[in-house]
Amino acid sequence: MKKGFPGYFANNNEDLDKLWDECLFILDANVLLSLYRYSDSTRSDLLNVFDSLSARLWIPHQVAHEYLTNRLNVIGEQVKTYDETIKKADALRKSLENANQHPFVKTETLSTCNTTFTLLTDELAENRLIHEKRISSDEIKDHLETLLDNKVGQEYSREQIEAVLIDGKSRYDEKIPPGYCDAKKGGDSLLFVDRCR
């Protein structure tokens, strides 16, 4: 029975141990792009995990393409998040500085808050610049370049991609995982590049 339905018996401890000890880890583009969205400590921890699994990492060619194509957009989104956060902090500070209307705070409290707001906005501005510099000097991309050296699949030919698109359409129509929820990413487009997404 297990041989015919292995997915129903996957929680055997020996099988799980063997799987974790021998499996190949295939990363998705969003995992790579999220390295730009995480805090420095979270990113460092994740890269350490990747480094420890280095011999068993691999990515499809399409994942590398999506990562490299979308990297600058993700960096830009994070820079914009810093800008918006700095504006919100400044707006909160200004709302507390008007002593003629609510909300009121004591002068001593406001002084402490202003010191904190200055530290906060200065740190945010500094982190924004560090993040923005990744557009041209990107230590994350450099790390991935080394980590994934010789671990990227070959590019499919146009004919192979067309066959995958035909198969993908039937999988989307039948809601067969994985990926059928990605149909909204351009599957109905007539453009080849959109359909590849």
pLDDT of residue 103: 80
* Mean pLDDT, rounded, of the chain: 89
pLDDT of residue 169: 80
- Classified as helix, coil or strand, 183 is helix
Q: What is the pLDDT of residue 185?
A: 64
Which residues of the chain have a pLDDT value below 70? 10, 180, 182-190, 192-193, 195-197
pLDDT at res. 50 = 98
What was the pLDDT predicted at 29? 96
pLDDT of 191: 72
For the stretch 40-55, what's the b/e string if a residue is b when 16 or more beta carbons lie within 10 angstroms of its beta carbon?
eeebeeebeebeeeee
pLDDT attached to residue 147: 97
pLDDT of residue 90: 93
φ and ψ at residue 39, rounded to 5 degrees: -65, 165
151 neighbors 58 (Cβ within 8 angstroms)? yes
Which residue's entry shows tokens 């880890």? 25
Round to whole Å and give the CA distance between 185 and 190. Answer: 12
How wide is the angle at C-alpha 68 spanned by C-alphas 67 and 70, nearest 5°? 65
What's the confidence (pLDDT) of residue 196?
67
Q: What is the pTM of this model?
A: 0.78
